[in-house]
Chains A and B, each alone.
Chain A
C-alpha cells in the first residue's frame, strides 16, 4: 500500500478522532526512585506463603497449604503462619496473586521469563528488568553504578542488546564489594597507596595521545580507582550498622537486604538480591520431595529480612521511593508429589510489591480455593513489569532499540492501575 492511500484508508476507517484520543491517554506514573528486587530461585509456592488456602496433608496426599494461615494488617488478607513479621506490615505491601505464564518445565527458561518478561526469541537477546531500569534512569549518583546484583552472574540478568553500560556489577558475599571493584584481601591502604604511586610513574611516562579511546580508558582507570576507594566501598561495610539492626535483618540473606538499603543510599538504582543460599534445605525454593520439610525456614528467613527491610526503609524515609519487588520462577501446585513435596505451577502464582509509593492493598487478584486457577484480575508477566516501570516513572509504552529494531519495553504490558492511583501519603513520610 502506498502511504497516501494508507492515510485515506485509516482516516475513513478509524475516524479522525482516534489519534488525538491515543495521544491524550495519560501515562500512569509513580514516584519511586529505586528498586530492590528479591529473587526467590527455584519457585516459591504461593499456597505456602502469600496466597494461603485450606490446609492439606502431604501424608494423605490431600491437596492444600502446608501451614496454618494468619490474619494481617489488611482485613481479609491472610498469610502463611511463617510470615508473621510481614503480616502487620501488609498495608505497605501488595501480594500480586494472579501472575501466570507457561514456562514451568525448565528452571533456566522460567528464570529468563521472569527477568526479561518475554519468551526467548531466536534473534534477540532481551535485557533484564534491572538493565532496562538502569538504561532508562541511570544511576542516582555519579559515584555509584546503576545496577548491582547480589547473586551469581548470568545472561538472564544481563543487559542483552542494551550493551554493557546497562549491565550489573555483582557480588556473591556481603562481606565484600562487587567483583572487580573491591580490593582483594590483604591489600591495605598503605599498599594501595604505593601501588597507585607506582602506577603514576608509569602513566607519567606514557606519550600523550589525542585518541579518544585511550583517553576514555585512562578516565575509566581513574573512575575505577575511585569506586574501589573508601568512598563507595564504605557501602559494603555492614559493620557500620548498629548491631541490633543487623541482628533484626537475620542471616546472610538479611544482610544482603541490609546491604541493598545501603546501596540505595549510595545512589544505586536497581539492586537484585538473590535468596539462593541453599544451606537450609539444599534445593532452596525448589521444594520437590523432602525439600519441603525445611521450607518454613526459608519462609522465616524471607519474612525476617523483608519485614526488617520495610521498617528500616521506612525509618530512613526511603520506603516511598524504594520499590521492593519479590519475584520467583513460578508457583507450586496445591497437590503433593510422591515424596511429599511439590511440583511446578505456572497457571497462578504470587509475586510481591512493597513500598515504592504505591497504593498498596495487601493483596491483588484472586485465585480459586486451592490457588490453582485465577478467579479474577489476572496479571501477566508483562503487566507486572509494566507496573514496575510505571512505579519508577518509566514510560512503559515506549520502544527500546536493538540497533534499528524497535522492541517494546514490555511485551504489551499494562500496569495495574489501582496500585498507581493517587493516594494520600501517610503521615510522617516526606
Chain B
C-alpha cells in the first residue's frame, strides 16, 4: 500500500521532463502494476512503515521482505535507450525505504541495481547504476555504485568500479529508514547521499571519482540482490517505495521524505524464561528441532515466537552428537532451514543441595534447571579468517579421564540448588547454524559434577560418566538409533510417492505383457545358460560349413585389418554410403560409385585404390600415416583369392565350459560382488559345512538382502554419474555430494526407473546430499549440457562428449541433440556457450575436409526437445503424459522419456550394465556407447530387459537371475572382453581384479581394524555456509572418501590418515576427482598396485598385530600355529591353506610360538602420544599449522602401536606372513 498523498502507480514511459515523477516506483502493494518477476524467498504483504510511527503511510501499508539467500525481483529493461539507461549528462535519483533484519561486517547488499546480474549474454561487470547498503563500523551506510568500461590490459582488476559511500550511517534493526542518492553522470562531484532526509558526507571509496560514462546495456534491473543471486550481496530485510528518477530531486523534496514520530524503534530482547513444555515422557530426554529462528545471534525479541517443532526424537542422556537428517517430502536430503533451535528436555532426579553443572555447545545455548538459567554459551558472530586464525591449543581435560570438549566448542559452568526431593526439570537449548554457518551441532551435552568426576545429565538419575570409555559406546548406539530415525523419516516421506510409482509399474507390467520377450531356448535348466548355449551351438554349426584353415586365415588376418582400420566409419555406420562389415556390403559401391571390393581383382577394387593413393584428400583411413605395406598386402591377397568371408572358426574347445568354482571360491566371488568384502571366516566355514543343495542360491539371497549391497554399487554410480564434491572452492565439474542420495536410494531398494527419475529431477539440497547435487558443475559454462551428456551415456548408452563443441565425427549425434537435452533439464531455451566451439585455427590448419563439423554457433538458442525418439522407441508426445508427474515440465518429461517402458533402450542399457559388473564384459561394449556396437546376445539381452521391466525395474531380480546361472559360477577363464560381439560367447566369466574400493574395504575387513581417518573436511567447525565448505564425515567404507587435493599445495591442508587410504585406492584406479563420467577404470597393472600393498602406510598399519586389533587377538588366542595359519588363509583368501602352504607357514610360526606371549611383568603398556592441535582451513596459513600437520603425517606413517603382549621377534614373523598373503596376486583378483 501507498503513501496517502501520492497516487501510486508505475510511471513507466513518462519522460524525464515531468518534474518529480519517477521513471519507476515500486511500492509492493497487494497488486503489482509492473512486471516484477520474483526469484527465491521474496515475501509480499509484510507490514511496511505504518502510522503512528510513520504518519505519512497508510495503516495497512505493505512491503516486500527478502530472505538474503539471493532472492530478488527482476524487472526487464524495456530495451535500447530506455528510461532506465543512464549515461554521461543524465541525472539520477535512487531512493528506497528499508528495514534491515541483518547486515554483516563488510557486506555490500543491493537494494536496486541495473546490470551485474550475471545473466548469460551480458558482461559480469555491466553495472549501469546501483543503490546499495554498505556496512562500516556496525553502521549501515548508503552507497552508490556503477562500472565504467574496463581499461584494456588491466584484466579483472577492480579499477573500473566506482563506489561512493556515506561516511555515516544508521544502526541495522532500528526500524524503517529512508535512503537516497542523487548524481549526475560524468560529474563525480555531484554525488550526494541521504539518510532519513539528511544529506551526509561521503567519499568515492573504490575506483576513485571518474568522469567516464557508466556501462550501458539492456541487462535487467534487480531488486534485493545481484551477481546471479550471490548471498553475500543480497539484502536481508524489508523494502518499500523503491524508486528511480531521471532527475536530481531537490533538497526540499528529499528532506520531506522521512517523517517519524518518536525515537527509532529499538528491538528488545524478550525476557529469558525456561520454556513451558508441559508433561514430558518419563524416562526420556525429549529432543525437539525447530526451524527458521529469526537469527543465530540472539534469543527471541519481544513479539517474536518460538517456531514449532518439526521433528521430535527421544534419547536417554543430555547428549546429542548430530542433527537428524532433514528430508524433503519425497524423502530426498534437504538442508535444515537454519538458524534452528534444538531443545533437549527431561525430568530428572539429582542429588539435593548445591550442584555444579557443565554445558558444551558450539554456538548460542543455555541450560535451565527448574526455571533457573544455570549456564550459557555465546553466539557465533565472528566471521572467520581464511587461514590466519591462531592455533587453538588442545583443551586440557577437566580432570584425568574426563572426555574433553569437542574442537571449537564452548564449555561453561554454573551452579544450581537442587531441592530436597531431587526432582528437576532440565532444559538444554542451542541455536544451530545460521547465516553463513552450517547446521551442525558438535557434541552438545550437559553434565553434573560428582565426587569422582562428571556425569551426563539424563532423564531420571544420571548414570553415565563423562569419560571416553563410557561415552564412546553410547555414541555408537545413538548413531544407530539416529540412523533408524532418519531411515524411518525418509521412508515415510518416500512412501507418499508410492501411488505414482505403483501405477507406473502397473503400466510397465501391462506393456511387458503386450510385448512378450524372446522365447527361452529349452535345452538348459537356467534361461541364461540356455540362451548362451544356443549361440554356441549355432556358431559351431556354421563353422562346420567351411574349412578351419580358411576361416582362421580370414578371421585372424583379414578381418582384424578391416575392423581396426575401416569399421569405425564403414561398419555399422555408413560413411560415404559404404559399409565393409559383410561380404555383400563390401561388393557394393558407395558414393564413389566404384565397388569397394571386386573379388579376384584387387586392382579394380576401390578399397585398394583408396589405401594406396598418396592424395591426402582421398587416402583412407583419413587420419594417421596410412596403412602399413603388410596390411595392404593382406587385403590385396584376400581380394585376389576371391574375397571369401567364411563364418568364424569356432571349435568345441573354444566354447568349452570351464569347471564350476568350488564352494569356497564361489562364496568369495559372490560376497565381493554383492557386499564388496569377502566372507568372514565364520561365514566361510558355515557355508563349507552346509550340505543343503540349494545353499548357493540361499547365499545369493542372503547377500542381496544385506545392507552392504548398497556399498557394493556406490563406487559404480559415483563414477558413472561423475559425482565430484570439492572440499574447497568449486573446481572443474565439481558437484554436490549426491553420493548420499544414491546411497539412500540403494538402501531403500528404489527401483531403477524411480532412481533415475529422482536423480534427473535434482531435488533436495545441492550441498548436503540431495539429488540436486547432480545439477552442479563447477567451472563449467554449460552445466546442464554436461548433465545431459552424463545421463545419455549412463542410461541410454549414447555418447555425447563430442557434441559439446561439434557434431560427433564417428556418431550420428549432433551438437543440437546435446543442447536440446540440456534445455529440457534447464526447463528453458539454452544458448551454446562461447567455449563450446572448435577454434577456427583447427579448420584452417586442415588440408583435408575435417571429420568434424560444428553446426551450432556460440550464442545460438536451442529449445527443449527430446532427440532420441527413434533410438529409444519413446516419443515426446501425449502418449507420455500418463507417465509424467508434471506433464508441462520438460525436466519431468525428460525423466519419464528416459525411463518409460516403451523406451526399450533404457532397460537394455541397465541390464547390460548389471551383466557386465558380474561377468566382466557386456553384451554390448562399451556399455556407455552403443552406436555402432552390436549386441553379442540380442535375444538374451532382450529377455533380461523384459524381466527387468516386468519385475518393476528391480536390479536385485536381474542380479539374482545372473548369479544363479551356471555361467556366473564357473572359473574365470573368459576372454569375452577382447572378442568381437560375434565371437563373444560367455562360456566363462572374465577374470576380474578387485576394484580399488574392494581392495581397501577387504584390507580393513580382514584385518579387523576400523577405518579411522580424519573427518573429510577442511572445516570441522561449520563456519561457512553449506555451499562454501562441506564435510563428508568420517568414512566407514572406501567409497566415502573423496579427492583430498587442495590445489594450493599447502602441506598444512593435508589429511594424512585419509591420504594413506586414497594412495592405495588411486593406485588401483580410483580417482576422487571425477571430472567426467566413466564406467571403465584403467585396469592395466602398474608397479604402484603391488607397490602400495607392499610398502604403503596403510598396508603397514593393517598387517600389524596392533594393539586391540583382530590380528593381535587371533595371535594371542591361537591354540597352535597351524590353527593360526588356517585362520589367516580363511580370513584373507577365503580358503583353507594347501598342504604345502600349511606346512611351510606353520613351521615358521612354530619358532617361538609358545614363548610369544610376554609375562604380565614384561608387558610394557603403550605410551599414548600427546594429542595435537587441529589444523583447519581457518588456521592453515599459520606457520605452526605446517609443523603440526607434518607431525600428524609422521604418526599416520608410523601406524598403530603393536600389541605389547606379543614378543616382538615372533610378532614380526607373523606380520610378515600376513604381509605375504596380501601381496599375492590371489588377494587382489577375484576367484
Contact = CB atoms under 8 A, between A and B. Distances in A.
Interface centre among B1066, B1073, B1095, B1185 (most CB of A within 10 A): B1095
B786 A123 contact: yes
A214 B1094 contact: no
Contact of B153 (A3, A220, A373, A408): A373
A405 B1229 CA distance: 33
Given A102-B156, A108-B1047, A165 B1096 contact: no
Nearest to A226: B1087
Given A203-B1224, A282-B387, A217 B993 contact: yes
A319 B1213 CA distance: 48
Do most interface residues of chain B lie in helix, strand or loop, or is the interface mixed? loop
A10 interface: yes
Contact of B839 (A181, A284, A291, A412): A412
B709 to A, nearest CB: 27
A255 to B, nearest CB: 15
Nearest to A11: B617
A253 B656 CA distance: 61
A412 B839 CA distance: 10
Interface string A86-109: 000000000000000010111111
A155 B1220 contact: no
B1049 A180 contact: no
Given A217-B1085, A218-B1225, A412-B839, A179 B1045 contact: no
A381 B342 CA distance: 54
Interface stretch (A57-65, A241-249, A272-280, A302-310): A272-280
A205 B1138 contact: yes
Contacts of A7: 617
A152 B156 contact: no
B143 interface: no
Interface in A8-49: 10, 19, 22, 39, 41-42
Interface string B711-733: 00000000000000000110111
B1095 A180 contact: yes
B1145 interface: yes
A194 B809 CA distance: 56
A412 B1075 CA distance: 24
B849 A277 contact: no
A56 interface: no
Given A123-B786, A213-B1083, A276 B1051 contact: yes
Contacts of A112: 731-732, 1047
A24 to B, nearest CB: 14
B101 to A, nearest CB: 30
Contact of B1225 (A125, A217, A227): A217
Nearest to B1217: A198
A41 B1048 CA distance: 7
Given A125-B1076, A152-B1051, A220 B1087 contact: yes
Interface stretch (A183-191, A356-364, A385-393): A183-191
A214 B848 CA distance: 44
Nearest to A218: B1225
A77 B1120 CA distance: 77
A218 B1090 CA distance: 9
A220 B1090 contact: yes
A277 B1185 CA distance: 11
B729 A122 contact: no
Interface string B1050-1081: 11101000000001001101010101100000
B1088 A224 contact: yes
A404 B1216 CA distance: 46
B1185 A164 contact: no
B70 to A, nearest CB: 20
Which of A42, A125, A145, A281 has most chain B Cβ within 10 Å? A125
A280 B752 CA distance: 55
A430 interface: no
A346 interface: yes
A199 B1181 contact: no
B772 to A, nearest CB: 19
A219 interface: yes
Interface string B1086-1108: 11111110111100100000000
A154 interface: yes
Contacts of B1212: 191
Interface stretch (B434-442, B469-477, B774-782, B946-954): B774-782
Contacts of A125: 732, 1075-1076
B912 interface: no
Nearest to A290: B388
Contact of A205 (B1054, B1140, B1187): B1140
B802 A405 contact: yes
Contacts, number: 250
Interface in B386-443: 387-388
B1158 interface: no
B899 interface: no
B1090 A164 contact: no
Interface string B1165-1187: 00000000000000001110111
Contact of B1100 (A153, A184, A194, A205): A184
Contacts of A279: 1183, 1186-1187
B1148 interface: yes
B156 A184 contact: no
B155 A195 contact: no
Interface centre among A163, A164, A346 (most CB of B within 10 A): A164
A202 B1220 contact: yes
B849 A1 contact: yes
* Max chain A Cβ within 10 angstroms of own Cβ: one of B839, B1089, B1187, B1193: B1089
Given A199-B1220, A221-B1225, A120 B779 contact: yes
Contacts of A42: 1048-1049
A198 B1216 contact: yes
A109 B1183 CA distance: 24
Interface string B1199-1230: 10000000000001100110111011110110
Contact of A277 (B616, B786, B842, B1186): B1186
Contacts of A195: 1216, 1219-1220, 1223
A144 B868 CA distance: 50
A182 interface: yes
A423 interface: no
A185 B1052 CA distance: 23
Contacts of A311: none
Contact of B1094 (A22, A185, A228, A276): A228
A262 B1097 CA distance: 25
Nearest to A202: B1224
A123 B1225 contact: no
Given A164-B1082, A184-B1197, A108 B1051 contact: no
Interface of B: 153-156, 387-388, 568, 616-618, 623, 728-729, 731-733, 777, 779-782, 785-786, 789, 801-802, 804-805, 809-810, 835-836, 839, 841-842, 847-849, 973, 991, 993, 1043, 1045-1052, 1054, 1063, 1066-1067, 1069, 1071, 1073, 1075-1076, 1082-1092, 1094-1097, 1100, 1138, 1140-1141, 1144-1145, 1148, 1181-1183, 1185-1187, 1193, 1197-1199, 1212-1213, 1216-1217, 1219-1221, 1223-1226, 1228-1229
17 contacts: A122-B733, A122-B836, A123-B786, A152-B1054, A165-B1084, A172-B1054, A185-B1197, A195-B1219, A195-B1223, A203-B1225, A206-B1225, A220-B1090, A278-B1186, A280-B1183, A281-B1183, A282-B1186, A347-B154
Interface of A: 1, 3-4, 6-7, 10, 19, 22, 39, 41-42, 102, 104-109, 111-112, 119-125, 145, 151-156, 163-165, 169, 172, 179-185, 187, 191, 194-195, 198-199, 201-203, 205-206, 211, 213-214, 216-221, 223-225, 227-228, 274, 276-284, 286, 291, 346-347, 373, 404-406, 408, 412
Given A122-B782, A154-B1047, 4 more contacts: A104-B156, A108-B729, A153-B1045, A347-B153
Q: Which 4 A-B pairs have the closest CB atoms?
A: A108-B1047, A198-B1220, A154-B1045, A180-B1091
